[in-house]
Structure 1
Amino acid sequence: MRGFFLQNKTGLKERLENNETVIVAEGYLFEFERRGLLKAGSFVPEVVLEHPELVRQLHEEFVRAGSDVVLAFTYYGHREKLRIIGKEDQLETLNRRALKIAREVADETGTLMAGNICNTTLYVKDDADAIEKCRSIFKEQIEWAVEGGAEFIVGETFADPGEALLALECIKRYGRGLPAVISMSPFAKDTTYDGYSYGDVCKQLEDAGADVVGLNCGRGPATITPLIKDAKLKCKGPLACLPVTYRTTEKQPNFQSLADPVTGQKAFPVDLPAHTCGRTEIREWAEEMKALGIQYIGLCCGNASHYLREVAEVYGRSPPASRFSTDMSQHFVFGNRKDNNPYYTETMRNYMVQ
């Protein structure tokens, strides 16, 4: 349908147990904000309510680029976030609609469909009331995801190990046996608030029963890599790695800490384009992850289909979007085809590149 190919329809756990790779497109919030369809700051997926057809299109676009998973766009679509913008009464509608869209696209394209929960913004360690509110948020979103046909549940972008463990507990309790993918979001320090290394937290989540553990968001390819390597040393099962697509550095290790190279002001979130990775960087990072044996691989904030295609091709895929992969041999100036005018090509090349 619509030029797609039907993919391998075995489940997540079966693929991973067979040492297969699962490629996952994330980054819906930032892409829709870039398109003017949700607000930076609140980052609530209102586009699901207002333009569901565009959500479907982006799911399809990511599948064409190589994603094995259609991730329901319910990230930050939870009760607390909708309360902030005064739309809590549309909470269930948003979640069920997002799940329905994702299920339909997954069915049409032969991909897996995942439900999505995330950091609640409410979690406070040792605060019983806050923890119970978080539990309630996870419970309702997980139950809707199960009813909506999710094949596994992603719990992601947790800063506190306690909230990640709570999310996992809720998936195991309310998810009716669905696999759980749980990932932490590393920020400026190489440890969590409590001083734990991210590798140690991943091991703790794995021991608690998560089917996949790892890292997503926060850091770009350059600075997430040392942390996932540490997790690889400590964990036995499959790991997830989904960085943002920004050039984070040792001095500015996460994308919230990046400074605009011209003004020196904080770049997050609206001036991040000055720090975007090149496709070559994404490809080289994907090659390193493949060599490391990362099975659940993808990209988070800043992701776009041309980036994801690089990852898919490194992992040996030829998705429909590969038909349009770069071929500079056809360029009228920089190409080397014999049917290009050699005099014109050389003249223009010298003119354009001194």
Structure 2
Amino acid sequence: MANKFLELLKTRDWLLADGATGTNLFEVGLQTGDAPELWNVDEPEKIYNLQKSFVDAGSDIILTNTFGGTRNRMKLHKAQDRVAEINAAAVKITKRVADQADRPVIVAGSMGPTGDIFEPVGSLSREDGIAAFREQAFALAEAGADVLWLETISAPEELEAAVTACSETGLPIVTTLSFDTNGRTMMGLTPADFARRVKELSPVPVAYGANCGVGASEMVTALQNMAMCSEEGDVLVSKSNCGIPEYVDGAIRYTGTPELMAEYARIAVDSGIKIIGGCCGTTPNHVRHMREALDNHTRGAKPSLDEIVSRLGEISNGARAMNEAGPLGAKPTEPVTGGGKKRRGRDPKRKAADDGKFPGEV
């Protein structure tokens, strides 16, 4: 049977993904430190309503509410034995939304990092990492996901383990890293590093790119750096945060306006990115403006670094230096080890909610 996601990739010039899950759920009652994945069982209509609002706004791809759906994450909420139940419930909700749409809508099984650092720096073995991802991947696949969507990964060891596990399901794989530390991931990878390393994975994901990060200008710059080491026919993915988080009246609000996210969508297409969406802070209204922008946009020349900055805002010195150096100057790096000290790591999106500091995307 043909895969709906792969078929849509063949027939469309671009695809619009959805926006944020966690930051939008905070608006309807999710509390800091809560597991949004439990809402697939406890508050399914709230998940349905959010996802339907993204489809109504124009999204072609909806990620399931399963970012923290491995047993490693669910253990923080004493739900490590409910992985299959919670992930299957999430797919059921998203399939309901997709099936009711008047156009093809892709159900993407979201899989975030385990939150543990892999050996030899950390304590998580490759085998245990693969087992955790395998359990979640099969739960998503057997419930009917069209594609497995690995997001917010930072370390090459975790990426390889996740892809290995997901490959056993036979579903297409998409993977995105988060570049949020002066143009690099938390573990030191540059976008160009990633473009090289992704070709060494087995199987090679059908699409790859970046999500989360520190805003639209940094995101597009990262993807342009990644494209320097990509190959013809590669499908690039960009799912940018909606600006920068700021405290406003005691709550976190993101600075990106609907107009800025529309401009980001146009620049992303001109930069050769095929799958475009939003991450933290991106609401259905932002997505609606992105859809209108894409529907009415004629593809133009790839924007220069100066043009990206003038239209979307400043970028970090690290991101600028890597882009200006080109593919030969952006050499592969070794993962950051923190001086060899073993520690438990958490991805940037989930850390905020677990620590109770501010309600970031989860």
Following the alignment from structure 1 to structure 2, what is the Cα–Cα distance between the partners of residues 232 and 124? 28
Counterpart of 2:181? 188
Counterpart of 1:351? none
Asked whether the equivalents of residues 37 and 68 of structure 2 are also in contact (C-alpha less than 8 Å), the reply is yes
Following the alignment from structure 2 to structure 1, what is the Cα–Cα distance between the partners of residues 230 and 34? 35
Asked if 1:136 is matched to 2:128, the reply is no
Task: Pick which of 303-312 and 130-139 moved more.
Answer: 130-139
Deviations 1:50-82 (A, max 9, x none): 110111111111100011123221111221222
Counterpart of 2:223? 228
- The alignment partner of 2:228 has SS state of helix
Q: Which of the numbers 265, 280, 285 marks the counterpart of 1:286?
A: 265
Counterpart of 2:252? 272
Asked whether the equivalents of residues 239 and 295 of structure 1 are also in contact (C-alpha less than 8 Å), the reply is yes
- The alignment partner of 1:234 has SS state of coil
**Aligned pair in 2 of structure 1 residues 235, 89: CA closer, same or farther (>3 Å)?**
same
Counterpart of 1:79? 71
Counterpart of 2:169? 175
- The alignment partner of 1:46 has SS state of helix
Following the alignment from structure 2 to structure 1, what is the Cα–Cα distance between the partners of residues 112 and 44? 21
Asked whether the equivalents of residues 159 and 184 of structure 1 are also in contact (C-alpha less than 8 Å), the reply is yes
Counterpart of 1:102? 94
Counterpart of 1:326? none
Counterpart of 2:108? 114
- The alignment partner of 1:164 has SS state of helix
Correspondence list, 1:1-354, <5 A: 11-18=4-11, 20-37=13-30, 39-41=31-33, 43-109=35-101, 110-126=104-120, 129-172=124-167, 174-176=168-170, 178-192=171-185, 195-208=188-201, 209-236=204-231, 237-247=234-244, 260=247, 271-273=251-253, 275-316=254-295
Q: What amino acid sits opposite 2:235 in the alignment?
A: P
Deviations 1:312-352 (A, max 9, x none): 1122179xxxxxxxxxxxxxxxxxxxxxxxxxxxxxxxxxx
**Aligned pair in 2 of structure 1 residues 219, 261: CA closer, same or farther (>3 Å)?**
same
Following the alignment from structure 1 to structure 2, what is the Cα–Cα distance between the partners of residues 213 and 53? 31
Asked whether the equivalents of residues 183 and 218 of structure 2 are also in contact (C-alpha less than 8 Å), the reply is no
TM-score (norm 1): 0.75
Bigger RCO (CA 8 Å, 6+ sep): 2
**Aligned pair in 2 of structure 1 residues 85, 224: CA closer, same or farther (>3 Å)?**
same
Could you list the runs of 5+ residues in structure 2 that have no partner in the other structure?
Answer: 298-362
- Offset at residue 43 of structure 1 (A): 4.5
Asked whether the equivalents of residues 166 and 173 of structure 2 are also in contact (C-alpha less than 8 Å), the reply is yes
Following the alignment from structure 1 to structure 2, what is the Cα–Cα distance between the partners of residues 90 and 193? 29
- The alignment partner of 1:45 has SS state of helix
Following the alignment from structure 1 to structure 2, what is the Cα–Cα distance between the partners of residues 124 and 85? 21
**Aligned pair in 2 of structure 1 residues 194, 271: CA closer, same or farther (>3 Å)?**
same
Could you list the runs of 5+ residues in structure 1 that have no partner in the other structure?
Answer: 1-8, 248-254, 263-269, 319-354
Counterpart of 1:327? none
Following the alignment from structure 1 to structure 2, what is the Cα–Cα distance between the partners of residues 81 and 95? 13
Deviations 1:137-157 (A, max 9, x none): 110111111111111110010
Following the alignment from structure 1 to structure 2, what is the Cα–Cα distance between the partners of residues 261 and 33? 15
- Offset at residue 83 of structure 1 (A): 1.2
Following the alignment from structure 1 to structure 2, what is the Cα–Cα distance between the partners of residues 34 and 282? 20
- Offset at residue 170 of structure 1 (A): 1.5
Asked whether the equivalents of residues 69 and 113 of structure 1 are also in contact (C-alpha less than 8 Å), the reply is yes
Deviations 1:94-150 (A, max 9, x none): 111111111222122131212121111013243674332321211011111111111
- The alignment partner of 1:140 has SS state of helix
Following the alignment from structure 2 to structure 1, what is the Cα–Cα distance between the partners of residues 296 and 40? 30
Q: What amino acid sits opposite 1:216 in the alignment?
A: N
Following the alignment from structure 2 to structure 1, what is the Cα–Cα distance between the partners of residues 236 and 27? 29
- Aligned positions, number: 289
- Offset at residue 40 of structure 1 (A): 2.4
Asked whether the equivalents of residues 64 and 108 of structure 2 are also in contact (C-alpha less than 8 Å), the reply is yes
- The alignment partner of 1:181 has SS state of strand
Q: What amino acid sits opposite 2:282 in the alignment?
A: N
State which structure, 1 or 2, has the greater radius of gyration over its C-alpha atoms: 1
Deviations 1:157-192 (A, max 9, x none): 0111221222112111x222x111000011222224
**Aligned pair in 2 of structure 1 residues 145, 88: CA closer, same or farther (>3 Å)?**
same
- Offset at residue 18 of structure 1 (A): 4.2
Task: Pick which of 24-33 and 121-130 moved more.
Answer: 121-130
